[in-house]
Amino acid sequence: MDHNFWLDRWQKQEIGFHNLSVQPALQKFWPRLGLAPDAAVLVPLAGKSLDMAWLTEQGHTVVGVELSERAVDEFFAEHGVTPDVRTVGDYIVKSSGRITLWCGDFFKLNASELPRIGALYDRAALVAMPPIMQSGYAAKLGELLPAGTPGLLIGLDYNTKEMNGPPFAISQSRVQELLAANFTIECLEARDGLTKSVHLAKRGVTRLEEASYLLKRRA
Ligand SMILES: C[S@@+](CC[C@H](N)C(=O)[O-])C[C@H]1O[C@@H](n2cnc3c(N)ncnc32)[C@H](O)[C@@H]1O
């Protein structure tokens, strides 16, 4: 999945993945992470997700990473704020209040450039990667997150004969295969996700499992 694919999606506003409400699984399971309210949350492949605003409402600072500058600009514009802008290496970094969005390639992030990360939130990031990129993404998470850091990951699974990704199907066993080396993993819930995913139903998916995982970076 090259960068142009995503930049083009944002350019054409083909952003069916973007939800107009906060993820129910985030609201339901976030307390399970047991975080201090001011912990910094890393949101890879952030888009302009409203989940980031919800996290700040809980008291967190948010460090989002997003390839598309348009997505980043839309996020701030839709929240009625003008961000401060700076450049850090290859990234344009835009921030306002408790939210900082790093505009650039998640895979090039350097842990030493980031504030201390206290938690991970992954919705539609791992599943945005084709299988060949998934292990690199899992390794990058291991690199960026300090030992003991908890995270919430929301995965999607469906019959891959019915649709080509993205989103790519990630079964519970695939989550284990990708992440177990660096994380303990607890599946908190696996539920039907099709009812609220009309755009995936339109693409031919007849069964969609949305699973929420509590992760913890191993020492
Ligand atoms: C499926 S969307 C999910 C967005 C967001 N997490 C949400 O829930 O709405 C994936 C996002 O990742 C971004 N992206 C893809 N590859 C990336 C990369 N290598 N580094 C940073 N962002 C990337 C895309 O531009 C897109 O906005």
Per-residue pLDDT tens digits for 133-175: 999 999 999 999 999 999 999 999 999 999 999 999 999 999 9
Catalogue the long-range contacts made by 145-148 (C-beta closer than 8 Å, 24 or more residues apart). 145/42, 145/117, 145/120, 145/217, 146/116, 146/117, 146/217, 147/217, 147/218, 147/219, 148/216, 148/217, 148/219
Considering only the C-alpha atoms of the chain, give the largest distance between any 2 of them, rounded to a whole number of Å: 45
| Helices and strands of the chain, counted as H and E runs | 7, 9
Quick count: other Cβ atoms within 10 Å of Cβ 120? 23
pLDDT grade, residue 197 (50/70/90)?
confident
Across the chain, mean pLDDT equals: 96
Which of 66, 91, 137 to mutate for ligand 1's pocket (most ligand atoms within 8 Å of CB)? Answer: 66
**Distance, CA 91 to ligand 1 centroid (Å)?**
15
Question: What percent of the chain clears pLDDT 90, i.e. is strictly above it?
Answer: 96
Domain 3-15+23-217: which topology?
Answer: Rossmann fold (3.40.50)
Question: Under a CB-based contact definition with an 8 Å cutoff, are residues 6 and 68 in contact?
Answer: yes
Alpha-carbon torsion, ordered 43, 46, 48, 54, to 10 deg = -20
* Confidence check: pLDDT of 1 > 90: no
Compute the average pLDDT of residues 189-217: 94
pLDDT grade, residue 196 (50/70/90)?
confident
pLDDT per position as a tens digit, 175-193:
999 999 999 999 999 999 9
pLDDT score of 73: 98
Question: What single-letter amino acid sits at 63?
Answer: V
pLDDT grade, residue 198 (50/70/90)?
confident
The structure's pTM equals: 0.97
Which of 5, 50, 67, 127 to mutate for ligand 1's pocket (most ligand atoms within 8 Å of CB)? Answer: 67
pLDDT grade, residue 26 (50/70/90)?
very high
pLDDT score of 181: 97
pLDDT grade, residue 53 (50/70/90)?
very high
Which of 3, 4, 6, 153 to mutate for ligand 1's pocket (most ligand atoms within 8 Å of CB)? Answer: 6
CA separation for the pair 196, 199 (Å, rounded): 9
pLDDT score of 168: 97
Question: Under a CB-based contact definition with an 8 Å cutoff, are residues 147 and 219 in contact?
Answer: yes
pLDDT grade, residue 104 (50/70/90)?
very high
pLDDT score of 48: 98
Which residues line the pocket of ligand 1, CB cutoff 6 A? 6, 17-18, 45-47, 49, 65-68, 71, 105-107, 123-125, 128, 166
pLDDT score of 165: 93
pLDDT grade, residue 19 (50/70/90)?
very high
**Distance, CA 104 to ligand 1 centroid (Å)?**
10
pLDDT score of 199: 87
